Amino acid sequence: MQILLCLPGNNFPSNGLFGIPHFDKFIHVILFGGFVGLWCYYLAGRIQLQQQLKRLFFLVFLFAAFNGILIEYIQFYFIPFRSFDDGDIIADLLAASIAYGICNVKLLTC
């Protein structure tokens, strides 16, 4: 995930799927929602204590949220042809929040 988010902007084609307006937001939703969802699913299979599992789910969510914000600043200051985008942060936080909520409802009730 980090490698994809840190690629220089000129490595992405400007036509095809990447030519679709706001397609990058969809990519952010898939990456961050998938990150939180898959880690929570993995942890749910390993940890039996509900309280500990809830805490770990929340830590996974916090890590994803912090990473989503941090990566935008890294892109702005250190990655050529990349820029800061509030919309990407919103997509990251929304996806991580939804995945976190689904995990708490689905995995903890099984």
Query: Is the pLDDT score of 109 beyond 90?
Result: no
Q: Which domain holds residue 104?
A: 43-110
How many other CB atoms are there within 10 angstroms of residue 68's CB atom?
Answer: 23
* 29-82 pLDDT tens trace: 999 999 999 999 999 999 889 899 999 999 999 999 999 999 999 999 999 888
Length of the chain: 110
Q: How many domains does the chain have?
A: 1
H or E element, residue 53? helix 50-78
pTM for this model (two decimals): 0.87
Is 69 within the bounds of a domain? yes
The identity of residue 21, as a single letter, is: P
